[in-house]
Structure 1
Amino acid sequence: MGAMRTLSLAFRPVVPEDAPLLHRLFLQSPGYFALIGMEPPTLEDVVRDLATLEKDERRRAFLLLREGEAVGYMDYKLHYPEPQDATLSLLLIREDHQGQGLGQRALAHLMAHLAGAERLYVVVYGDNPRAKAFFQAQGFRHVKDGGPALSWYVREL
């Protein structure tokens, strides 16, 4: 049996200058966008979205880095839907890095650092059985479906 390698995962707040990097990450995850029935965003879409990030003081977005390389993205909102809640709107692990426990580590890190939040909601877009199974395995329970393309999950913190 070989030595076990621990995966170091670093979290870096996204800045507007990260748009090309984030866009490339999205392009490396075509399966996710196909699943939710969307084209991957254009670079202009990403630039626009990152510009709105600075206007919403409740929203947080992080690049997940492994050995300096962007392998994922996490986007969540504090004090939403209620003041004591937080809502994870996207946890994306690059397709060539899925199945290695990175999503689990990122989620655990987020939950450990949500000071003051009592609940974490997760929004799953589209018909995404893998994401639903992932969040249920992490202790989230299904709350409601919001329209055909939205499912909400929650976990007490």
Structure 2
Amino acid sequence: MGGMRTLSLELRPLGLNLEEEAPLVHQVYRGSPGYFTLIGMELPTLEDVLQDLNTLAQDPRRRAFLLFQGPEPLGYLDYKLHYPEEGDATLSLLLIREDHQGQGLGQRALAHLVEGLAGMERLYAVVYGNNPRAKAFFLAQGFRYVKDGGPAIQWYVRPLSPHRFQPR
């Protein structure tokens, strides 16, 4: 059992070949039906996924990655640079397939993301729906609650740059 955890987590950028990538993203979504139930959404179709990836590819500030450990896609990560403001990054979705949750993959994906965000000062995370597991995850990763962004959206934030002490 311990052997699986030693496999390294690979983040592969999306947007190079959407026709090939969309089915892999769809596979992750199909392996995460609880998430879509939780946010009150139908499981996206392959066409929905392709459309979303096309939209994403047209926004130069957005980045998306498939998470791999071996040949199978286990997760999906989507964020936007310089949003809501210059120097901020916002994590829109970090989704780990249900059969791989609880293995520290989300933590490792977040660590990869943070390492790659050179020059950004803050990382926001958006939690949709009533999702106590996601809230607990982000709080455990050093985020703090900021505000509600509507009836079913909560915003969390954590600083990225080394903290300079600012007396009040």
Partners of 2:4 and 2:101 lie apart in 1 by: 18
Indicate whether 1:10 and 2:10 are aligned: yes
Q: Which 4+ stretches in 1 moved above 4 angstroms?
A: 2-5
Equivalent of 2:138, from 127, 135, 138?
A: 135
The answer to whether the Cα contact below 8 Å between 2:27 and 2:73 also exists between their aligned partners in 1 is no
- Out of 79, 90, 95, which is 2:82 matched to? 79
- Bigger mean CA deviation after superposition, 108-117 or 6-15: 6-15
Q: Deviations over 1:35-80 (max 9, x none)?
A: 1111111111101011112210000000000012100000000000
- Residues 3 and 57 from structure 1, CA distance in 2 versus in 1: closer, same or farther, beyond 3 angstroms? closer
The whole-number CA distance in structure 2 between the counterparts of 1:72 and 1:108 is 14
Unaligned runs of 5+ in 2: 161-168
- Distance in 1 separating the partners of 2:76 and 2:3: 28
What's the Cα RMSD here? 1.3
CA separation of 1:52/1:5 partners in 2, compared to 1, >3 Å: closer, same or farther? closer
Distance 2:61 2:75 in 1: 21
State how far apart, in whole Å, the 1-side matches of 2:110 and 2:156 are: 13
Provide TM-score, normalisation by structure 2: 0.89
Structure 1 residues not aligned, in runs of 5+ = none
Aligned to 2:63: 60
Q: Check conservation: 2:7, 2:69, Cα contact below 8 A.
A: yes
Q: Please give the TM-score of this superposition, normalised by the length of structure 1.
A: 0.96
In 1: Cα distance, 2:11 partner to 2:74 partner: 11
2:159 is the counterpart of 1:156: yes
SS at structure 2 position matched to 1:96: helix
Task: State the Cα distance separating 1:6 from its structure 2 match.
Answer: 1.8
Q: Percent identity?
A: 74
- How many corresponding residue pairs? 156
Alpha-carbon distance between aligned partners in 2 of 1:148 and 1:7, rounded to the nearest angstrom? 39
CA distance in 1, matches of 2:59, 2:11: 20
Q: Deviations over 1:90-121 (max 9, x none)?
A: 00000000000000000011011101100000
Q: CA deviation at 1:7?
A: 3.3
| 1:52 partner SS | helix
